[in-house]
Amino acid sequence: MGGAPAPMQAVIPWGFAHEDAAGLARALTDAARFGFRHLLVPVPAALAHRAEAIAAALPPLPHLPQVQFAPVVQFAPVAAATGDALARVAPLLEPVFLLVDPGQVVEANWLELALRAPPGGHALAVAGASAAAPAGLALLGRDALPPGADLPALLRGLAADARTALWRLPADAVRPVHAGTPARPPRPALFLDRDGTLNADYGYVSDPTRLVLLPGATAAVKRANDLGWSVFLVTNQSGVGRGYYAEADVIACNAALHDLLRAQGAHLDDIRYAADHPEALEARYRAATGWRKPAPGMLTDLMAHWPVRREASLMVGDKDSDVAAGEAAGIRGLLCDGGDLDALLAPYLHPPA
């Protein structure tokens, strides 16, 4: 696993030690933000309908994850219940997965855990200087879970094992969930254009296999991720309206771009694209949506779903229309020229105050 891309499965046991609705909502939302597409929720059978209702009440999750609830009959003592539940759903576990404690909020770039994991080993996030305080995230192999394991004891044992990579987080980066914990807290946001800003623009980019990231693109996105900013993709795709390619091609390219970034520990929180154009071949794409830049619709729609601190946010692109869209949405616009994106953005990206 060392330096490998993060796994695609996040496992969120809920209802064994914690029954907070806020904790499950936040864990599902964050896992989807970080690009985990298979979200497995082991849950006591008696609480399965409640867990499903919590998930159904959430705004749409990004990157179209599959959320699977796995009801289990709880026989084990409370101390070992979560480990017992994981053993019972072992056939549903992928060979490597991220274990998420829904009772804790971890304000950090979760993908960093995969970058730190040794080959064939495990990785744990720990809070502060003490390795005895697992911080709600663990990158595990399926074979690390013996039947009937007392999960807290297992994690403490892994934390004490020299072969386990420890990701030490500041103590204030981890905190218990409470009833008022928001699923989507306000954050500064980095809104990014796609073609000519993150990847090379060869004209109507539509082939996922031809995506080439520009210098500093991954580093800039990861810098924002590490600082706790939201990162959103907002891209005009008039090639759809003009009939050059289909919306499915846009979606495939956006997914491929996200996967390229994610392989290096960076992620896009959410994505919007505008397929309309005044000269579109089909009437449905000629209708003005208010999303095509320089109109601000993509940005305002994202801000309707994700609380954004506008005064601290940026809209970055290679065209004047990108800057204009940001300004129309109340976001500072910044023009890039295809050079090193990280070098351009570093002076503007700061930890949230």
Domains, the chain, with CATH or none? 9-176 (3.90.550.10), 189-348 (3.40.50.1000)
Residues annotated as catalytic are 193, 195
Residue in the structure block whose two tokens are 């990861």: 222
Work out whether the CA dihedral 231, 332, 188, 305 comes out positive or negative: negative
Tell me the two tokens of residue 353. 């105050």
Question: Which residue ranges of the chain lie beneath pLDDT 50?
Answer: 1-2
Tell me the two tokens of residue 40. 């497995």
> What was the pLDDT predicted at 81?
73
Query: What digits encode the pLDDT tens for the residues 137-180?
Result: 999 988 877 766 677 778 888 888 888 899 999 989 999 999 99
- Burial class for 347, CB neighbours closer than 10 Å (0-12, 13-18, 19+): exposed
Q: Calculate the CA dihedral of residues 310, 311, 317, 321 and round it to 10 degrees.
A: 80
DSSP alpha helices (H): ranges in 99-237?
Answer: 112-116, 151-159, 217-227
What does the alpha-carbon distance between residue 248 and residue 89 come to, in Å, rounded to a whole number? 34
> What was the pLDDT predicted at 78?
59
What does the alpha-carbon distance between residue 33 and residue 225 come to, in Å, rounded to a whole number? 11
Instruction: Write out the DSSP string of 57-83.
Output: TSPPPTT-PEEEEEEE---S-GGGHHH
What share of the chain has pLDDT > 70, as a percent? 95
Q: Which residues of 227-243 are buried (b: 16+ CB within 10 A; e: fewer)?
A: eebbbbbbbbbbbbbbe
What does the alpha-carbon distance between residue 288 and residue 285 come to, in Å, rounded to a whole number? 8
> What was the pLDDT predicted at 75?
61
Helix (H) or strand (E) holding 177: none
> What was the pLDDT predicted at 137?
94
Give backbone dihedrals phi and psi of 211, rounded to 5 degrees, phi first.
-70, 130
What does the alpha-carbon distance between residue 163 and residue 61 come to, in Å, rounded to a whole number? 35
Tell me the two tokens of residue 20. 């907070």
> What was the pLDDT predicted at 201?
95
- 222, 345 in Cβ contact below 8 A? no
DSSP alpha helices (H): ranges in 192-350?
Answer: 217-227, 238-241, 247-262, 283-286, 297-305, 320-328, 341-345
What does the alpha-carbon distance between residue 118 and residue 114 come to, in Å, rounded to a whole number? 9
- 83, 145 in Cβ contact below 8 A? yes
> What was the pLDDT predicted at 18?
75
- The verdict on whether omega for the bond into residue 294 sits within 30 degrees of 0, i.e. cis, is yes
pTM over 0.85: yes
- 279, 156 in Cβ contact below 8 A? no
